[in-house]
Chains A and B, each alone.
Chain A
């Protein structure tokens, strides 16, 4: 897929704003995750602004595409993109993690319309996505289900239970996107990004998904054109008649020199100084950021 220059510029602008709002929101609430949300920014924006058949004004529309943030700790990234897309006002981000908020530390579908599942305990989203995809076939609906996974998260066995059944039912209406950012929370000591080894250094997830019978597409997860092309292929399904795994190579903490590739930024609260540094690094002015 070739993006017009203006369209690409607009997506890139949204990505910068999203990155800043993620930091600002975590700073305000005094808690939350940073590295995992930042690596998924382009993927989330591409899905919510270009790929998915959704209508923010009708979050309960029957025929909408379904989205599952299986790596639920990236909630603040999802909320930011949903707010920018018009699901709720950007100002509501200030309630993140506060008492009575719809924006819980991990996504809670009983509180916030537009969420297709709750998550937070890792490794369970693909199973719920499998349910949506199987259900769509049974109900003869043509919506697509997208599941965003973390590369540490897929150490959970339940992911592979779902991968097996999805392949057995030839679910071409299900796509898993792996945010393959090379870091988990703590992981193994050794050479990789910083002093931590890649969660899967010896066993690339692409090979595992392939072994389970999935179609695999590998992309640069920060390149909008590559994300959009991969999603287009995934949605078409046929002639593959297989679920698709998009392995998105990303950088944890992407976009800010002080967070990139640093496992300590998995969950850490940015200071006011960090916010300032972020604006500079992103080349943004506060006044360009919606409130």
Chain B
């Protein structure tokens, strides 16, 4: 188990060694996002921007156009909502080389409630031209994606989470943009996830196997770009597809998979996620259960859909 934000903080330090032009800009949250590790290692390349996220996005654009590589540290919601206009106009529309470390994504944001639980970020960021949208499954993929992002020229949105989650990829894993990962082979149903939710799908698949339902599990860490042909090919054998995400059922992973399938290989797609409502503050297990995202709730839903 390891939290993605821990991997974020550690990898920033690693990348700081490798890229002298890498900077970290923080919105008064470095001790939450773990960007404070970078400040400890490179105090002069850590720029505190205070509680003023719109300004931070503008500053990042300016620095990027001078050849710096700014990595930003704040909570997801303050990037995709508070700072959305400068993010769009100054960063995305100028193709600025800014890397957005969106800590505290999804539902499990440490009892903060609906103000901080961003259930719309994927819909917003996916729809934004020029933006790369990544949601790592674990600490290993977080690190791999960050290494890739430093080599890529352009804005990257990295969807991180707060609390520890299972590490499922091998340490040698190399990230390739667009690639769909097959985590488990199946026959009756394809489960498609993004971020650490994909690990809960693996767990659900194991439970289903005990009941004779063979579920394939796929992880889309790279929501944009996406290898659409690869996704179609992997999903082709399956009669039923179930997507699950810590996000609204509108416009996120479920939307993406439905869009791709409907154009080339129409079939039933069940989207599990937040059903047009806000989150709330509560313990993680309670939330996952409430929104149907825990492994047992996923298994229950899949069972019902397979049988119907």
Contacts and interface: CB of A to CB of B under 8 A. Distances in A.
A180 to B, nearest CB: 15
A144 B31 CA distance: 38
A189 to B, nearest CB: 7
B50 A199 contact: yes
A152 B50 contact: yes
Contact of A152 (B39, B51, B78, B283): B51
Contacts of A31: 110-111, 281
Interface stretch (A16-24, A99-107, A219-227, A246-254): A99-107
Nearest to B43: A189
B144 interface: no
Contacts of B81: 121
B111 A120 contact: no
Contact of B29 (A29, A108, A185): A185
Interface stretch (B93-101, B112-120, B193-201): B112-120
A122 B282 CA distance: 21
B48 interface: yes
Contact of B115 (A98, A119, A153, A189): A119
A101 B113 CA distance: 11
B54 interface: yes
A186 B30 contact: yes
B51 A184 contact: yes
B283 A99 contact: yes
Interface residues of B, number: 33
B21 to A, nearest CB: 22
Given A104-B280, A188-B48, A120 B31 contact: no
A153 B114 contact: no
A213 to B, nearest CB: 22
Contacts of B36: 186
A203 B9 CA distance: 32
Contacts of B31: 185-186
A106 B115 contact: yes
B148 interface: no
Contact of B112 (A30, A120, A152): A120
B286 interface: yes
Given A99-B282, A186-B28, A108 B51 contact: no
A101 B50 contact: no
Interface in B253-305: 280-283, 286-287, 290
Nearest to B51: A155
Contacts of A98: 282-283, 286
A97 interface: yes
B281 A184 contact: no
Given A122-B51, A152-B50, A156-B52, A184 B115 contact: no
Contacts of B280: 99-100, 104
Contacts of B111: 29-32, 97, 105
29 contacts: A30-B111, A32-B111, A97-B111, A98-B282, A98-B286, A99-B290, A100-B280, A101-B282, A104-B113, A105-B113, A105-B116, A108-B113, A119-B115, A120-B113, A121-B115, A152-B50, A152-B51, A155-B28, A155-B50, A155-B51, A155-B52, A156-B51, A157-B52, A157-B55, A184-B28, A184-B50, A185-B28, A185-B29, A187-B28
Given A30-B283, A186-B36, 15 more contacts: A32-B111, A98-B286, A104-B281, A105-B111, A121-B82, A121-B115, A121-B116, A152-B50, A155-B51, A155-B52, A157-B54, A184-B28, A186-B28, A187-B28, A187-B48
